[in-house]
Structure 1
Amino acid sequence: MQNRRDFLKNAGALALGGLALPHLSQAAELVGLSAPKPIGIQLFTLFRPMNEDPKGTLEKVAAVGYKEIESAFSTRGGYYGYKPKEFKALVEDLGMTWRAHHAGGAPFRRPSPPPGAAPAGASTPGPAAPAGAPAAGANAPAGTNQQRPMNMPPMLNLRDNYQQLVDEAAEAGLSYLVCASTPVATLDEINNSIEVFQKTGEAAKKAGIGFAYHNHATEFDPVESAGGKTPYELILSQTDKDLVKMELDLAWATKAGKDPVELFKQQQGRFPLWHVKDIRQDLKTITEVGTGVVDFKRIFAAADIAGMKYFFVEQDMAPQPIENITTSYQNLRKVVV
């Protein structure tokens, strides 16, 4: 299983339980109880089905009970082959709300080829897959060396296209534009990212939307050229807290040995978005919400301290997408009543 950041690096650059929920919600309102909190989903969880059949996949997502959508990269280009307003209409027609979109911060440098590999410019199976896309051959049967060329659409990133991405997010009526991942291995990369975040945050504020940064585990690793400081602490301390918010990925923070609640306390109100993701005891395997080690009940109890507004279930390229997101939804519903 590869996560989004792995793709960025390698690329170089229904459920029956959900059907009763409307009735339960109406009954709760009749007796004066508040409706359940809307549960969102990051569509990277359903990467392949969203690229194969966006509308049909969204219909299944809605049938499970999900109400909020965060979009990601699509091999169809644009927003799963749609323009911003078209995708917004599709989501809303299914009774959901499109809240946020993920975009890359800056292209990752292409990894150096191993000794004996073909030199740069040599014949390859096809163009490198951009951010969020599976590498060529990712769909090949196990045990084969089959490689499939992928004709990828142009990839926008915040370093080069922040204004266009902000404008499109505003056109779609989104609440947030989010940086999905960006190079932070050196102090220069961190500083460049901070500059991009500040510019994007300023543009987003002018457009009436928010901007946030989504972490992986590597942001919590000390960087030698930064004097041993971590990218995460530098981003937090050197960006305007009103312009650059954080989307905390609960599983990656847990993998890095960080307590999400303590992070919330250190930067109160700066975490309006969460990725509700679980990880197994090995701290390597991403799994369905409620089947790993993340203490969601304790974390959700600190939602006010975090300033949380929206949260999205994510299981990076889930192996059995609809089954997996159904399990996550049903388990999470027990926490966010």
Structure 2
Amino acid sequence: MGPRLGKRLLFWVPLFLLFLLALPLAAHAATQVEVTGLVVNLRAGPGTDYPVVGQVSRGTRLVVVGEARGWYNVALPDGRRAFIAGWLARPLEEAVPSRGITAREDKPVSSPAAPPNSVEVTGSVVNLRAGPGTDYPVVGQVSRGTRLVVVGEARGWYNVVLPDGRRAFIAGWLARPREEAISSRGGEERLIPSALAGKKIALDPGHGGSDPGAIGPTGYQEKGFTLAVARLLAAELRSRGAQVLLTRDRDVDVGLYARAAMANDWGADVFLSIHADASFNSSARGISTWYRREGATAEDRRLAQCLQEALVKELGLADRGLFTANFVVLRESSMPAALVEIGFISNSDEEALLRTPEFQARAAKALVDGLERYFSS
């Protein structure tokens, strides 16, 4: 060993020992956070533009080693580092265990909060599954704004009750707890009832089977759009306690007179026929709602008005207004009836909207809002 090497060792060894001694102090000085969101993404950097590197559930404790731009830099049990949004975790008062012990995800500081009484779907169109995970089969779908009663929670998924009495699971990160519970005199909680509860609503997805309806510039068919919206609408109405009749629930032929007869025989409170408009003028655009011309009542016009206003407000398309006509499905229905034309499939811009699941879900939501308003006033 040369004299120069010996001098270097004498300089670096003490510094290295000081570094080792400082490690447990640094660990002890760090803080912990507890995850408050139901299921929260961990990211590679301090922002939502960084890739997701994992997920943690409510109650998980994580060691904090830094902070940047409102995000905590945390140490994971496997030794990796990641970032969690500061608004989805809360600092803990207790110190991090020393001697290199890190908190385990399956041992939260306190028991997770009880599941909410109900949740509202935040995703555009969300799958319902037979169990708490994406490896379970899909048993249905719900659209944004759908309200579901919660009966349990497992692995970041809500166990919910469907309108037909079945149970299913929905991902916790695609639904939010609702704040609509109110206290009764007995101290128990109940949900504010919907004006739609108990109402019998006949939904008529226009065209079907051998009748494609209007066809857009790229070949998208009206019958597909109307059925997609009707299915989403039916699911949401049922979640609010309404009874729903679909004149068709798949791609089949159904006669116009038969559609009205179904609603009449069933004793529907209202009849709603769903369509997309079309024109030889490719620049024609917007939303219109129709009601019967002969024998129209104030209720027919009021129903049409409620639906038209809700559609225009939610979708932001041009308001073409209300019209009257002697369409068979309107003329032959014995209850208040309306036919909505949601955008022009012959317009390339609006055709592109009509074929997206997000737009279809928003259209369904708008129709729910319109029906809710109609039955509330």
**TM-score of the superposed pair, with normalisation by structure 1:** 0.28
Largest Rg, 1 or 2 = 2
Greater relative contact order (Cα < 8 A, sep 6+): 1
Q: Return the structure number with greater strand share.
A: 2
Q: Return the structure number with greater helix share.
A: 1
**TM-score of the superposed pair, with normalisation by structure 2:** 0.25
